[in-house]
A and B are shown apart, each in its own frame.
Chain A
């Protein structure tokens, strides 16, 4: 079974600065999908960014970008120009390319609590 590890329980950054959240995963598959979700205090899980493993180019969504290192099984999230509204729990997630046999759904890491200092 795949596992997702987020080694930073909590991170703090000054407003307008850049922060990078780490995520590593363990898999024997060569094709898969990776996601970052944001969970603000409202509890709503919001999809931030998505990466296909077969694409070498790192995904970007406005101030959010990823550093995908397939060989290292690393998928970090960079938030540029941090804003107060970015304060939330951030979850890294893995999805197999295949279906069935327990591969359905997303496997989540334990999350990183991001604090934005004004």
Chain B
């Protein structure tokens, strides 16, 4: 299995632009998570999907952030408009059962100038 796939690996954009991050979970996994990692705040859970349905989006910082999972093999995290404080590494993770841990993708490093 190729593991969790994320694209792009790096994204540099200007403030105000729309950013879309993509994730392909491990085949067969039914739960998908988006995390954000910064030096100041560490790893924060943004949103969690189960069977393609958003279950908990309480970690999404504000309305500029949105996430979708149109099918079991694809999810997007969109930021519109982007701001410099959104600069971080964004991880996607998937699992079949959370008690066994999460399997993370390589992350997308986002820089907003």
| Residues of chain B with a CB closer than 8 A to A30's CB | none
Q: Report the minimum CB–CB distance from A35 to chain B (whole Å).
A: 5
Count residues of chain A with CB under 8 A from any CB of chain B: 25
- A105 engages B45 (CB within 8 Å): yes
Binds A, one of B62-70, B76-84, B99-107: B99-107
| Residues of chain A with a CB closer than 8 A to B102's CB | 45, 47, 105-106
Q: Report the minimum CB–CB distance from B102 to chain A (whole Å).
A: 6
| Residues of chain B with a CB closer than 8 A to A50's CB | 100-101
Q: Would A104 and B99 be within 8 Å (CB), given that A42-B106, A44-B106, A45-B104 are in contact?
A: no
- A105 engages B33 (CB within 8 Å): yes
- A104 engages B42 (CB within 8 Å): no
A78 CB–B CB distance under 8 Å: no
A108 CB–B CB distance under 8 Å: yes
Give me 19 other A-B pairs in contact (C-beta within 8 A), A37-B104, A42-B106, A104-B31 excluded: A33-B99, A43-B109, A44-B104, A45-B91, A45-B107, A46-B104, A47-B102, A50-B101, A95-B99, A95-B101, A97-B99, A99-B98, A104-B55, A105-B33, A105-B98, A105-B102, A106-B45, A110-B42, A111-B42
Q: List residues of B whose CB falls within 8 A of some A CB.
A: 31, 33, 35, 42-43, 45, 48, 50, 55-56, 58, 89, 91, 93, 98-104, 106-107, 109
